[in-house]
Structure 1
Amino acid sequence: MTITVKIGAALMLLLALSSCGNTIRGVGRDTANAVNATQDAGHSVNRAARR
């Protein structure tokens, strides 16, 4: 293989790995937001039930 092909393959691999990292972080944030929203809804129901 030529050096250009090797460099191109390395760049594509780096791009793929960085995209995966961003996706994993995004999913983590979404999951945390869903948990927070669920807890807030539970607190709201609890407060409504006490009235």
Structure 2
Amino acid sequence: MLTLNYRYRIYPDATQEQRLIESMEICRSAYNYALREIKDWAMQVNWNQS
């Protein structure tokens, strides 16, 4: 099996960099919210019931 790896480099201007930062912040917040919801749900479930 042959595995190829590629690396890309970007050079955003100031406006693009700010938009990338904002987008990553939104993704981080959404991920953390979903993770918290799953953890809260798991704490409420009684795994010992049959």
1:27 aligns with 2:32: yes
Gaps in structure 1 of 5+ consecutive residues: 1-6
Larger fraction in helix: 1
Q: Which stretches of structure 1, 4 residues or longer, exceed 3 Å deviation after superposition?
A: none
Shift in Å, 1:20: 0.1
Q: Which runs of 5+ in 2 are unaligned?
A: 1-11
Give the CA RMSD over aligned residues: 2.0
Q: Percent identity over the alignment?
A: 13
TM-score of the aligned structures, taking structure 1 as reference length = 0.66
Report the number of matched residues: 39
